[in-house]
Structure 1
């Protein structure tokens, strides 16, 4: 809870009226002690929970999970390095060294990859063209709902 100065002033005035000026300092002292005791209990509880978590090995488990999911630990950085120079549209050089059948398959796959890329690019361009024409049609001055002819008498509006 966070009280502003205006709320504290209202509480002080109400307390002054209800408790009276004679007992007000004692009441605020008791309230301060009670608040300090609550904070101390909350701090102790938090420390106890942290100690229990340490004993249960939660921090170690979290560190192990982070280590296990690290790309470096999993060897994914080596995969990234290997894939940097790879182009699926070109046949593999290693395939040519292995044998003629493997080289032939590699070339077929490279050709298929090129076709897929070309088809995808074509479809993407068609979609962009459709969106442009739709936007142009929407922007051209035409009959807007406010310019539509008024309904004839007897027709529902």
Structure 2
């Protein structure tokens, strides 16, 4: 009637409990229930009175005559539907018109060629997918990067004070992913510094 769900009713009940109090709440709900019952009864009486008035005025008789007048139209429509149904059934059963044998042979050849082309294309796509999947594992490049720190022990023979300063720079560079040009530049710099200091 009011389109309230259980959650809304619970919220209303909690608010009523807070506002009215636990002593007077059952009495209040009882009076609200009685009021709602009286309102529903009045609505039922009103609709019953309106139906009785319509019956006395002859509205039901008018409705019956209108229905009786429209029945022939409905029966005529039923006949039209039956005839269209039979026509559609006949056309559906007949199916597609058959081709001449020569044309049918050409159509079969075309269908066969298109099937062959489709299977060849799918095979090529599968080969391309396999080829694309194979080069994906490239962890072999990382061991080459691991070889570069092996060149640094030559620079580690420096005195302790200089050795503490030198590893700070190269230590920052290996943390990044070195590209091939950056790696060669860094290697040439470290070897040049090692030669100068030695």
TM-score range, shorter chain: 0.3 to 0.5
Q: Which has the higher contact order (CA 8 A, sep 6+)?
A: 2
TM-score normalized with structure 1 length: 0.45
Bigger helix share: 2
TM-score normalized with structure 2 length: 0.36
Higher Rg of the two aligned structures: 2
